[in-house]
Structure 1
Amino acid sequence: MSRLAYGGDYNPEQWPEEVWHEDVALMREAGVTMVSVGVFSWARLETAPGVHDFGWLDRLLDLLHAGGIRVALATPTVAPPAWFYAAHPEALPVTKEGVRYGFGSRGAICHSSAAYRQAAAGITEQLARRYGKHPAVALWHVHNEYGVPVNACYCEASGEEFRSWLRARYQTLDALNTAWGTAFWGQHYGDWAHIDAPRVTPTVGNPAQQLDYARFTDETLRGNFIAERDILHRLAPGVPVTTNFMTALSQCDSMDYWAWGREVDLVAQDHYLITDGRRTHVNLAMAADLTRSVAGGAPWLVLEHSTSGVNWQPRNPAKRPGEMARNSLGHVARGSEGAMFFQWRQSRQGAEKFHSAMLPHAGTANRVWREVVALGADIGALAGIAGSRTMADAAMVWDWQSWWAQNLEWRPTEDHDARERADSFYETLYDRHLTVDFAHPEADLSAYPLVVVPALYLATEAVGQNLRAYVEGGGTLVVSYFSGIVDEHDTVHPGAYPGALRDVLGLTVEEWSPLLRGERVRIEAADGSVLPADVWTEFVVPNVPRGAEPVWTYADGRAAAGPAITRHQLGRGAAWYISTRLAPEALDTVLAAAAADAGISPRDDLPRDVEVVRRTGEHGSYLFAINHTATEAKVPLGAAGTELLTGERAAGVLAVPPGAVRVVRAD
């Protein structure tokens, strides 16, 4: 791509062919540079087993190429045709309760089905041979949103494949019985054939078995992606291959995207605002930062978001004027190489006909279209940022497998939510105007002055050693409660809590004491200042003689007079521990102290809800200022430069109008 990607999913099979020419003309008017084609087109491309109709797609790709529009060509394997399910009803997935889904939606796939794998490979190979060298094709888009809406299948074929997966993982039944703790409740296995998928049981099932099934499911879906990717690499070399992730923590929890990120040529992400009354731009920033981190800091691409309202939430408000541009350029600020939407032309039929699009039902005589055209011009003006990287100030440790484990049944309280803690920590850092990278627990953290761990229930001994090395090397670490408790098999670490993190935190936890619903406690600093807390308390004991030191203590509650928040000086760094749940304002007080410990200066010169993010590359440094408020914002500039969206000079202090975005390329 010589320009940033701008466009959306294009589904021309929903429209008469004469409309296609109008579409291309309007795409050019809007500044569209790329569209995704063919995501749900399997039934049109393969009308019967082995019977293909590529004529319409030939004409479409030629038309787009003539219009100067590149194509992300999809393999349509998320939506097998009706004829496939008629021949292979066993390929429809089965729920944990034993109910088989029916045909008529999307993503209804048992990924352990041999028939599905064969059919998916067949259509992928046909597309690769026919279009691998087509000049319009810039990117291969495999499948669509793996794991949505169905990730796990519990049919007999899945159970059989799970047994094979377990044999490869554990080699012997003795090793499996040890890892799963089958001595509990008499679950010992003496034959591989007796092991099944973790279906519904009278009470809580084996947690280690459930955790392994989540891993198996993730690896199965990823294996099917890799199979398609390898066909495309072999038959269409040189064209990058991706699939659209959904890394937003509120939208998809069944994929280990650290592992997926290593398998794609370009990390791509779908993101939709969850309009539940919260500050949606904060979740957008979090999802973008997480996606960039999955990409290893490299540029990535938002492959889908919405121009305005969606249609699948309980209430679907329209976006405010200017919000589409702020959303789109917010992704770009945090590393995306453009902004793509679902979809180009709004559907008139089907389940998503009320989902917004670049070209609405009303055509071009409306606000959405005018904003689409204006955004296309802005994206065009930012071509120079391609390949540059977003600069981060701090890191947050996150692990999907720990999330899977923590979310199993019978934990100390149902009120503790790992995602809520991640959201809260991120929002607090966001409000301190810090750009955040996410990191795997075993990643090298040495580049970050501050690392926060909001929820890491599952942490291996290697993780504990990694975090200790980070602190000893001069880093500042902040760990929240219920972290470091179990190993990779959901087995509690030997000795006192917090298990793998005892040494780095310099303390032990004798006992947890979760609070009852609505119950509150107060924690107090040496200067008499008090912070409110809820959900969770602990009986914390600092190690002696050189362990953690209390910074705040419990003023009341069952743990009254005991340490609530501690700081452990270790080597050249320090490790903070928060043993209770703090509301955002209280959490900010603690993170402010930790940030000062890390040498991070506060950004008191920036208003709340004005985000400032920097991208740097071989062509220069770019400062993005996004004003989510209704008043003009003043943003101090470190260096003078050119504001790319208006062409004006910028020096000293940059004025950002209400709801606007400004991008300054430093001289």
Structure 2
Amino acid sequence: MHSISSRLSDNDGTAFGFGGDYNPEQWDPSVWQEDVALMKVAGVNLVSIGIFSWALLEPSEGRYEFGWLDSVLDLLHESGIRVDLANASASPPPWFSHKYPQSLPVTATGVRLGYGSRQAFCASSPEYRAAAAALTTEIARRYAEHPAVIMWHVHNEYGCHNQPCYCDVSGAAFQRWLEKKYVTVDALNEAWGTAFWSQHYYHFDEITPPRQSGTFINPTQVLDFARFSSDELLECYDAEARILREHSPHPVTTNFMGFMMGLDKPIDYWKWADHLDVVSNDHYLIAEDPRNFQELAMTADFIRSLASGAPWLLMEHSTSAVNWQPRNIAKAPGEMLRNSLQHVARGADAALFFQWRAAKAGSEKFHSAMLPHAGTDSKVWREVVGLGSALKKIAEVVGSRVVGADVAIIHDTDARWASELDAHPSVDTNAMAETRLWHDAFYRLGLTTDFRRSTDDLAGYRLVVVPMQYLMTDDGARNLRAFAESGGTVVVTYLSGIVDEDDHIRLGGYPGAFVDLIGIRIEEFFPLRADEKVPLSRYGPGLRFSELGRATGAEVLAEYAGGPTAGSPAVSRNRLGSGSAYYVGTSLTEAGVLQLISDIVGEAGVTPAHTVTGEVEVVRRSDGEHTWTFAINHGDSVGVVHVDGIDLLTDTITDGRLTVAAGGVAVVRESAR
């Protein structure tokens, strides 16, 4: 992975990226001078430009106008502000969609979407791909050597509003993708189980996207279409990134969207990450979530894991309220600083925002910005300036990596896709909710967590959790077993290992892929009714799910104490090799998971680096020579962290005991021991 820290260096050395999306085209040029002057006051050193500028850069087909962009880039360069320059391919202009209506995306119900919003294109459209490549080429030629530009930004939030597309062009591309994958129609029929419901195909050109039908669509067809749709967008990214790399050595990125909550079929970011020179991410709090800071931590851990532990970039977050939630609640005083330093603590080398100046028109006019509608005499502006100052004070942390992650959570994209298919045992089970439940338990215990795929090398971890990984490959199952046999501790939850990569049930008892690993055989699922609970002999009660089964070698730690599964194992431990595997057959409460994890971490040899009291989040970064402890207090009372060193934000010596005020933050360079 490339680093941009050296490209942001100034007379004082390396620096965190600080700034955000800048959209000067939305304002009269007379405003630009004020923008740049205020950026310097705030300490801004990096802005993203051109993300949604296609309509102004190419007012008609093949006619480009770059004068305004030239002026902006020159102005920024004169002020020492670097640029992450976008290729503007995210949103085709109206003239393009009007001329090429077949490029517009189509829904599963057959409705072709209109333009007038953003990202109104089909990823398989040859007209879109050609136009995006032509625009990218012109931008690359013109600005490859501009001194302000230090990084290329391809597109924006791939898959956010137009994926998947079900049009005939996508259908033909899907057929080609399937033929490449399966080679023969017979192999596809076997993988898709088309003997069911008379779905047998005789030619690839008979296959369509999984459009809306009378009832459930073939689940493997839906799963393959999710894989295909992710790959089609990746082809678009690769084609544009290739052009940019041909013209300059600048690193190329595109902004991810964390776990892509709420979207139909998220992109396979694991597959995408290797195609980016720098991994970057957008993150927005769900304001009404009382523990949204923990969801932020989980997402940051995921992005760091996609970057293989290397520093990554927070490309967008908000200074305060957003515009797209049911109730767009403003951030409380100090919340923006805590949010930003959370991302930095968990590996980000930049804290950027959407956007620099709050818009006065358009759908995002109520979205907060670094420079709000109220101007500089405002809470938001004062906090922006304060954040810029804080990032300068801790600049020595730039380039370091997060340390101390002895725990990994398995998150396979295929497993998430498959878990969200239709016709499953219960609508109340949710892989992402279960994943967050377990991450939250480690968070509460002060333990840093990585995310990994089931097939990744797990040798560096002591404890691995497999939360509701419904789809599991043979390779993944073997890898997890080998990890346990070599001394690791594995925790597998309900609805894991149920199907193979074709969404075929693993026969012989649940959870098929893990029966030997966990020493438990489940014969039948007993989902709970809405709001029903099942008592457990320990760690209880159980929620949403229960199972009828028996131990085949495992030690039962908790049984179901009521209902039709009474006496069956709910929580168990199986010894194998020099390690062990736990199984949890129900969804535990927050308290239940915390109790179980507290029992397990001791056995696994996992302990937090520092003793903490109160609601203080503690994460450490290190460059091999120095270690920095980030302490962020999300509670409403004082917290204490036992750490020896100097707080870079206040220049005070902790002398082994750091007091963190309610809502406060600290970054301590630890003393050498």
Taking structure 2 as the reference length, the TM-score comes to 0.96
Tell me which amino acid in the other structure corresponds to 1:434: L
The residue number in structure 1 matching 2:602 is: 596
The residue number in structure 1 matching 2:630 is: 624
Q: Quote how far apart the aligned CAs of 1:480 are.
A: 0.6
Q: Quote how far apart the aligned CAs of 1:247 are.
A: 1.3
The residue number in structure 1 matching 2:592 is: 586
Question: For residues 125 and 70 of structure 1, what CA distance do their matches in structure 2 show?
Answer: 21
Tell me which amino acid in the other structure corresponds to 1:246: M
Q: Helix, strand or coil for the counterpart of 2:613? A: coil
Check conservation: 2:406, 2:460, Cα contact below 8 A: no
The residue number in structure 1 matching 2:658 is: 654
Map 1:546-565 to 2 at 5 A: 547-565=553-571
Question: For residues 442 and 227 of structure 2, what CA distance do their matches in structure 1 show?
Answer: 31
Q: Quick one: which of 526, 536, 540 aligns to 2:545?
A: 536
Q: Quick one: which of 248, 252, 256 aligns to 1:241?
A: 252
Tell me which amino acid in the other structure corresponds to 2:605: G
Q: Quote how far apart the aligned CAs of 1:277 are.
A: 3.4
Q: Quote how far apart the aligned CAs of 1:557 are.
A: 1.1
Q: Quote how far apart the aligned CAs of 1:642 are.
A: 2.1
Question: For residues 177 and 26 of structure 1, what CA distance do their matches in structure 2 show?
Answer: 62
Check conservation: 2:447, 2:608, Cα contact below 8 A: no
Question: For residues 462 and 494 of structure 1, what CA distance do their matches in structure 2 show?
Answer: 17
**What's the CA shift string for 1:342-365, capped at 9, x where partnerless?**
000000000000000000011101
Question: For residues 61 and 616 of structure 1, what CA distance do their matches in structure 2 show?
Answer: 35
Q: Quick one: which of 458, 470, 474 aligns to 1:461?
A: 474
Check conservation: 1:249, 1:419, Cα contact below 8 A: no
Question: For residues 281 and 645 of structure 1, what CA distance do their matches in structure 2 show?
Answer: 21
The residue number in structure 1 matching 2:370 is: 358
Matched, 1:157 2:169: yes
Question: For residues 519 and 63 of structure 1, what CA distance do their matches in structure 2 show?
Answer: 62
The residue number in structure 1 matching 2:464 is: 451
Q: Quote how far apart the aligned CAs of 1:276 are.
A: 2.4
Q: Quote how far apart the aligned CAs of 1:658 are.
A: 1.6
The residue number in structure 2 matching 1:259 is: 271
Question: For residues 55 and 607 of structure 2, what CA distance do their matches in structure 1 show?
Answer: 57
Tell me which amino acid in the other structure corresponds to 1:87: K
Q: Quick one: which of 402, 405, 424 aligns to 1:390?
A: 402
Map 1:201-600 to 2 at 5 A: 201-236=213-248, 238-248=249-259, 250-252=261-263, 253-391=265-403, 392-525=405-538, 531-543=540-552, 547-600=553-606
In structure 2, relative to structure 1, the CA distance for the partners of 1:275 and 1:618 (3 Å cut) is: same
Q: Quote how far apart the aligned CAs of 1:519 are.
A: 2.0
In structure 2, relative to structure 1, the CA distance for the partners of 1:249 and 1:144 (3 Å cut) is: closer
The residue number in structure 2 matching 1:666 is: 670
Q: Quick one: which of 17, 22, 35 aligns to 1:10?
A: 22
Tell me which amino acid in the other structure corresponds to 1:40: F
Check conservation: 1:394, 1:451, Cα contact below 8 A: yes
**What's the CA shift string for 1:45-86, capped at 9, x where partnerless?**
111111111111111111101101000000111111111111
Tell me which amino acid in the other structure corresponds to 2:257: M
Q: Quote how far apart the aligned CAs of 1:295 are.
A: 0.7
In structure 2, relative to structure 1, the CA distance for the partners of 1:616 and 1:602 (3 Å cut) is: closer
Question: For residues 66 and 284 of structure 1, what CA distance do their matches in structure 2 show?
Answer: 36
Q: Quote how far apart the aligned CAs of 1:385 are.
A: 1.1
Check conservation: 1:248, 1:271, Cα contact below 8 A: no
Tell me which amino acid in the other structure corresponds to 1:552: A
Question: For residues 315 and 609 of structure 1, what CA distance do their matches in structure 2 show?
Answer: 26
Question: For residues 425 and 246 of structure 1, what CA distance do their matches in structure 2 show?
Answer: 21
Matched, 1:71 2:83: yes
Check conservation: 2:314, 2:343, Cα contact below 8 A: yes
Taking structure 1 as the reference length, the TM-score comes to 0.97
Tell me which amino acid in the other structure corresponds to 1:443: D
The residue number in structure 2 matching 1:612 is: 618
**What's the CA shift string for 1:99-122, capped at 9, x where partnerless?**
011110011110000000000000
Question: For residues 277 and 242 of structure 1, what CA distance do their matches in structure 2 show?
Answer: 30
Map 1:124-203 to 2 at 5 A: 124-203=136-215
Check conservation: 2:471, 2:501, Cα contact below 8 A: yes
Q: Quote how far apart the aligned CAs of 1:602 are.
A: 6.5
Q: Helix, strand or coil for the counterpart of 2:534? A: strand
Q: Quote how far apart the aligned CAs of 1:650 are.
A: 2.2
Q: Quote how far apart the aligned CAs of 1:586 are.
A: 0.9
**What's the CA shift string for 1:632-661, capped at 9, x where partnerless?**
211101xx3221111222221011122111
Q: Quote how far apart the aligned CAs of 1:619 are.
A: 4.9
Q: Quote how far apart the aligned CAs of 1:603 are.
A: 8.1
In structure 2, relative to structure 1, the CA distance for the partners of 1:53 and 1:144 (3 Å cut) is: same
Check conservation: 1:384, 1:619, Cα contact below 8 A: no
In structure 2, relative to structure 1, the CA distance for the partners of 1:603 and 1:592 (3 Å cut) is: farther
Check conservation: 2:105, 2:112, Cα contact below 8 A: yes
Q: Helix, strand or coil for the counterpart of 1:258? A: helix
**What's the CA shift string for 1:144-189, capped at 9, x where partnerless?**
0001122111111000010000000000011000000000011000
Check conservation: 1:42, 1:80, Cα contact below 8 A: yes
Q: Quote how far apart the aligned CAs of 1:604 are.
A: 9.4
Question: For residues 453 and 609 of structure 2, what CA distance do their matches in structure 1 show?
Answer: 27
Q: Quote how far apart the aligned CAs of 1:249 are.
A: 5.0
Question: For residues 618 and 548 of structure 1, what CA distance do their matches in structure 2 show?
Answer: 41
Question: For residues 452 and 80 of structure 1, what CA distance do their matches in structure 2 show?
Answer: 43
Check conservation: 1:338, 1:379, Cα contact below 8 A: no
Aligned-CA RMSD value = 1.2
Check conservation: 2:614, 2:639, Cα contact below 8 A: no
The residue number in structure 1 matching 2:12 is: none
Unaligned runs of 5+ in 2: 1-7, 10-14
In structure 2, relative to structure 1, the CA distance for the partners of 1:608 and 1:463 (3 Å cut) is: farther
Tell me which amino acid in the other structure corresponds to 2:660: V
Q: Quote how far apart the aligned CAs of 1:266 are.
A: 0.4
Q: Helix, strand or coil for the counterpart of 1:511? A: strand
Report the more deviating stretch, 305-314 or 609-618.
609-618
Question: For residues 41 and 568 of structure 1, what CA distance do their matches in structure 2 show?
Answer: 58
Q: Quote how far apart the aligned CAs of 1:250 are.
A: 2.6
Check conservation: 2:410, 2:454, Cα contact below 8 A: yes
The residue number in structure 1 matching 2:4 is: none
Report the more deviating stretch, 654-663 or 301-310.
654-663
Q: Helix, strand or coil for the counterpart of 1:47? A: coil
The residue number in structure 1 matching 2:110 is: 98
Tell me which amino acid in the other structure corresponds to 1:243: T
Question: For residues 631 and 434 of structure 1, what CA distance do their matches in structure 2 show?
Answer: 21
Tell me which amino acid in the other structure corresponds to 1:441: S
Structure 1 vs Structure 2: percent identity of aligned residues? 49
Number of residues of Structure 1 aligned to a counterpart in Structure 2: 657
Question: For residues 382 and 446 of structure 1, what CA distance do their matches in structure 2 show?
Answer: 32
**What's the CA shift string for 1:501-540, capped at 9, x where partnerless?**
1121122111111112232211114xxxx62112111122
Unaligned runs of 5+ in 1: none
